[in-house]
Chain A
Amino acid sequence: MNAKSKSRWNIGIEVIMILLALLFLSPFYFLLANSVKSFGEILSDAASWPQHFMWSNYSSAWKLARFSEAFRNSLIVTIISVVLISLFSAMAAYRMVRANNRFNRVLLLLFVAAMVVPFQTIMIPILKVVNVLGVNNSFLGLIISNLGLSIPMAIFLFHGFIKSVPLEIEEAATVDGCNPISAFFRIVLPLLKPMLMTIIVLNALGIWNDYLLPSLILQAPELRTIPLATFSFFGQYTKQWDMALPALTIGVAPIVIFYLFMQRYIVEGIAAGSVKG
């Protein structure tokens, strides 16, 4: 095939892909355009560009759905969970690689096996455990559950990564009088940065978007995360699209902005996480 027909072929592909991308984006157009229309205008024509921009839709939805509270709650739960998942998993995986005894090998098998267990299989007893611990209806209960559910996969990914980290650097540090704990925090942890980013990004997306687990643990309205606040608001204002759509836009915006800024890490993280998995 000559160069000319090849480049014409590529232009054809490019045009088709751009059209396909517009089709992929069209739900966002419907969402955004209709979120600033009056109720009557949405009913009469949901496809056109808005004639009058009703920005007040946004301020009403923001207040009624208590989004400032929900946003803060989502941030607290996501950040604390992700930091602890990353830290505890890196520590455990490090020890399991460096002390490769029978106990730790069995433990690794357990973690891998746990990755196959669907959340729905253990969700009912998890609630019982959370109740017995007395952390029901609290961020603490949700964070503990997030840790227990996300640690297996994080350990599995770190375990594969740490195996490729050379032992010599740590040994040199130990000779220089570093104990294993400070050797881990000062020397090993910084070397784990690529895999750390993967784990942070994958867990941050998963926990931020999670609906089922928080809906089971958090009952108090003031504890609602963004998916919970959106769900309850959408339930109250079903078919009242001039309220529901701005609320959805507000709910979606933080994660889309996060994605656009962190895109490189997210995409690399997924590729790295899946290849190792």
Chain B
Amino acid sequence: MRGSKLSQFGQQAFFVGPALLFFTLITIIPFLMGMYYSFTDWNGVSGNVSWVGIDNFKAIFTNDPDFWSSFWFTVRFTVLGVVLTNVVGFFLAYLLTKPLKTRNMLRTIFFMPNVIGGLLLGFIWQFIFIKGFATMGDVTGWSFFNLPWLGDATTGFWAIVLVFIWQSSGYLMVIYIASLSNVSKEVLEAAEIDGASRMQVLRNIIVPLIMPAVTIGLFLAISWSFKMFDLNLSLTKGGPFKSTESVAMNIYNEAFLNNRYGLGTAKALLFFLIVAIITVIQVRVTKSKEVEA
């Protein structure tokens, strides 16, 4: 090859070809197939797939209370999860950018839950909710520990929120630390000399300056919590009686338990539209709040 000039087409094929091939096979084609199957009664097994028009969507909107209760569950979970993980992540970052002796070790610890996958984390917490909390209840006498964690709809919901915060705050902490360390020391010192209180500095200087990180933090947390599946599966399996079933799990069950692949893809497409709309709105809104130092 040396010396001979490669054609432009040859270069394009060599460099972009492999990536484009796998991307087409695993993302583009399935996405298009999903659009097609959402208008069919495909059951995943038989070769007979017939076109049913908008029947699947009609069924979802008029006759599928389980889907909408899983949707409502996911919305509540997302709102709480996004706010709490970002608040906790931000405050961990804020306090761990102070000159503390154990700062690096503390950062290591707060991030650690994040490297463990949601499935294993959920199983660890299943033990803690079932046995650990019971023992803590005996020791402390606090009724908080003796609630039926994982056993009913309300506490099951909060259990998932709690583990989600434990898992995700560390990641957001890292993002906020990166952003906070870019806030110029001069600006902060000037504010201090002018007599601004800690809260004033935080609210009026630091938060506006790290808005780009807030955009990212909200974006990530929305996408994690909306798509949450592993924690859901390993903590409650959606139970009791589907009361803690997320949309991701509802789609999964529709396709792989009920073998209604057509209906499942219709739900999946709807899910995509909702995620896309929310993401675009969120990025627009927070981007408009970003300022230059």
Contact = CB atoms under 8 A, between A and B. Distances in A.
Contacts of B1: 179, 181-182
B12 interface: yes
Given A24-B112, A25-B112, A148-B26, 18 more contacts: A21-B110, A30-B127, A30-B128, A34-B131, A91-B18, A118-B268, A118-B271, A122-B268, A123-B30, A126-B30, A145-B26, A151-B22, A179-B3, A241-B127, A248-B124, A256-B116, A259-B115, A267-B111
Interface of B: 1-6, 8, 11-12, 14-16, 18-20, 22-31, 33-34, 37, 44, 95-96, 98-102, 105-113, 115-120, 123-125, 127-128, 130-132, 134-136, 139, 166, 171, 174-175, 177-179, 192, 212-213, 216, 220, 223, 226-227, 229-230, 233-234, 247-248, 251-252, 255-256, 261, 264-265, 268-269, 271-272, 275-276, 279
Interface stretch (A62-70, A165-173, A190-198, A226-234): A226-234
A155 B124 contact: no
Contacts, number: 267
A79 interface: no
Given A118-B271, A230-B119, A27 B124 contact: yes
Interface in A91-139: 91-92, 94-96, 99, 103-104, 107, 110-111, 114, 116-126, 128-129, 133
Q: Is the interface of A mostly helix, strand, loop or mixed?
A: helix
Nearest to A113: B276
Interface residues of A, number: 92
Contacts of A216: 256
Nearest to A128: B33
A147 interface: yes
Contact of A122 (B16, B27, B108, B178): B27
B12 A230 contact: no
Given A18-B102, A147-B26, A182-B2, A121 B271 contact: yes
A31 B192 contact: no
A177 B5 CA distance: 10
B178 A179 contact: no
A274 B178 contact: yes
A9 B100 CA distance: 10
Nearest to A117: B272
Contact of A231 (B24, B119, B272): B119
A61 interface: no
Contacts of B102: 14, 17-18
Given A21-B109, A99-B11, A124 B255 contact: yes
Given A177-B3, A211-B230, A118 B275 contact: yes
Contacts of B95: 13, 16-17
A220 interface: no
B100 A267 contact: no
A77 B290 CA distance: 41
B100 A10 contact: yes
Across chains A and B, which 8 residue pairs bring their CB atoms closest together, nearest first? A148-B26, A209-B117, A95-B15, A125-B30, A271-B178, A92-B19, A125-B33, A122-B30
Contacts of B25: 129, 133, 144, 148
Given A122-B268, A267-B174, A275-B178, A27 B128 contact: yes
Given A13-B95, A177-B2, A91 B26 contact: no
Contact of A95 (B16, B119, B125, B127): B16
A177 B3 CA distance: 6
Nearest to B131: A46
Given A17-B102, A251-B120, A125 B31 contact: yes
A251 B123 CA distance: 11
A75 B175 CA distance: 28
Nearest to B24: A148
